[in-house]
Amino acid sequence: MHEPHLYEELAADLVGLIERGTLKHGARFPSVRRLSEQRGVSVATVVQAYALLESRGMIEARPKSGHFVRARRAEGLREPTAPRPARGPIKVAVTEDAVDLMYATMSDPSLAPLGAACVSPELLPVRKLNGILASLVREVSDLGATYDGGGARPLRQMLARRAITWGVPLGEDDFVITVGASEALYLSLRAVTKPGDTIAVESPLYFGLMQLVSDLGLRAFEVPLHPRTGLDLDALQDALRAGPVRAVLTVPSFSNPIGSLMPPEARERLVKMLARDDIPLIEDDVYGDLSFDGTRPRPAKAFDRDRVLLCGSISKTLAPGYRVGWVAGGRHHAAIGRLKLARTLSTPAAPAMAVAEMLARGSYDRHLRRLRQTLAVQVAQYREAIATHFPAGTKVSDPQGGFVLWVELPAGADSLEIQGHALERGIAIAPGPIFAVRSRYRECLRINAGFPMTDRIGSAIRALGELCERATRGELR
């Protein structure tokens, strides 16, 4: 990622004003001359910033009247339906074929990347991170020569510092470094359950979590996610009453695939509800750093450091291929540490050290500030494209962070069918049923908005919209 030019910084500021609602749709921007005076930048910089926003479809220039925030079709979009509560727990079986297809096509550059939830490599400062890794390896010439007994201590120290800014006072000894959040979640589930146990999970549920739950032989009680506010706590209360629930697994900040954000009061209520029966909460926080308005949601762990197992990683913000994650397991910390040793002894030291250095230099936070703004713009652009090209009656989530969109098509459409046809046209998507423990969400799909809105992506969304239109008319069967 290059250092931003002045005009790009100005454009990002203006986008922030639009996203925060300071500048309403249809509102007029200051004239070029006025903004250049206000900001103390050249007229050329303002012209370039306006041109950039125009090319991204955020503003429109009207001859002789100036620049205006573009009215958006996406504003007319309705939010997806909140799922119905489940009646009881069931053994988890994964929708194998569709998930296999997802993984098989995940890194195929010939496909439009609307499937896997990942940020475009061009938005990630991996060159910088690789540079740090290269110098580390040169400077510490015996790096990797021993087992990392301390367990990536520099990274744990940096995480402890960050945790204070999340509102959770944790020390370096509260963390275990893992191979991505996936291992953190696996170890957490292993530490608090045994095969045959029931856990409460959210629905729709990220299919990777479903695979973990299935691998561990657990039964899942699906609790609906409200598209905006997350876990339905009344439905959870019913699930807890129905029988022994050994743990609750949720993604409170910008859940995948629906993008919901649990408000602070709900987090507190959730934690208190679980404290009554002493039930552990496994909190998956991989998207926590990606709120569009820059305020980092306080993890549920802030309300109960003992009972909440907080899992995170850098996969969604920095470098998924580094496979660096962590868990702060609270009272289960020692058990998790032992399980980690039994499974893989330790996490590769060099990538974890490089990430620690990136955090220490402040480069990560600088990068995050830009990434959040970029993703806010992309998500708005994708919603706009869907509003333009998808069948009438399509509903779309409106996440306030992260980069995935949950799309609910009109009745009759079958996203598993659409997935096959879309792949033939060079487009990857994630069909709805892979996010369900019980067979549901056939009319839903998840769209990744982690890549910049180029002509190629725009065309892919248009083609996908046509397919969805045909699917709702039953023409794909």
Ligand X SMILES: Cc1ncc(COP(=O)(O)O)c(C=O)c1O
Choosing from 48, 193, 203, 315, the residue that interacts with ligand X (CB under 6 A) is 315
Residue 182 binds ligand X, judged by CB under 6 A? yes
Integer Cα distance of 469 and 421 in angstroms: 13
Measured at CB, which residue is nearest to ligand X? 180
Residue 251 binds ligand X, judged by CB under 6 A? yes
Residue 313 binds ligand X, judged by CB under 6 A? yes
Residue 297 binds ligand X, judged by CB under 6 A? no
Q: Tell me whether residue 125 or residue 257 sits nearer to ligand X (CB atom).
A: 257
Choosing from 16, 180, 288, 465, the residue that interacts with ligand X (CB under 6 A) is 180
Q: Tell me whether residue 6 or residue 368 sits nearer to ligand X (CB atom).
A: 368
> What do you get for the CA distance between the two ends of the chain, in Å?
44
Binding residues for ligand X, how many (CB under 6 A)? 14
Q: Tell me whether residue 320 or residue 433 sits nearer to ligand X (CB atom).
A: 320
| Part in contact with ligand X (CB under 6 A); list of ranges 65-73, 176-184, 234-242, 376-384 | 176-184
Choosing from 14, 117, 168, 266, the residue that interacts with ligand X (CB under 6 A) is 117
Integer Cα distance of 470 and 456 in angstroms: 21
Q: In sequence order, which residues have a C-beta less than 8 Å from that of residue 12 and are 6 or more positions away?
A: 4, 370, 373, 374
Q: How far is the CB of 409 from ligand X (least distance, A)?
A: 22
Residue 399 binds ligand X, judged by CB under 6 A? no
Residue 252 binds ligand X, judged by CB under 6 A? no
Residue 8 binds ligand X, judged by CB under 6 A? no
Integer Cα distance of 91 and 156 in angstroms: 36
CB 462 within 8 A of CB 386: no
Binding mask 322-341 for ligand X (x = CB under 6 A): ---x----------------
Residue 347 binds ligand X, judged by CB under 6 A? no
Residue 289 binds ligand X, judged by CB under 6 A? no
Residue 113 binds ligand X, judged by CB under 6 A? no
Choosing from 95, 198, 253, 256, the residue that interacts with ligand X (CB under 6 A) is 256
Integer Cα distance of 413 and 443 in angstroms: 5
Q: How far is the CB of 178 from ligand X (least distance, A)?
A: 8
| Part in contact with ligand X (CB under 6 A); list of ranges 56-64, 177-185, 235-243, 328-336 | 177-185
Q: Tell me whether residue 248 or residue 286 sits nearer to ligand X (CB atom).
A: 286
Report residue 339 as tokens: 């399980």
| Part in contact with ligand X (CB under 6 A); list of ranges 12-20, 174-182, 260-268, 357-365 | 174-182
Calculate the CA 268 to chain-centre distance.
Answer: 22
Choosing from 133, 225, 247, 286, the residue that interacts with ligand X (CB under 6 A) is 286
Buried b (16+ CB within 10 A) or exposed e, 260-287: bbbeeebbbbbbebbeeeebbbbbbbbb
| Part in contact with ligand X (CB under 6 A); list of ranges 157-165, 180-188, 213-221, 270-278 | 180-188
CB 189 within 8 A of CB 213: yes
| Part in contact with ligand X (CB under 6 A); list of ranges 175-183, 238-246, 328-336, 363-371 | 175-183
Which residues of this chain interact with ligand X, rule CB under 6 A? 117, 180-182, 206, 208, 251, 256, 284, 286, 313, 315, 320, 325
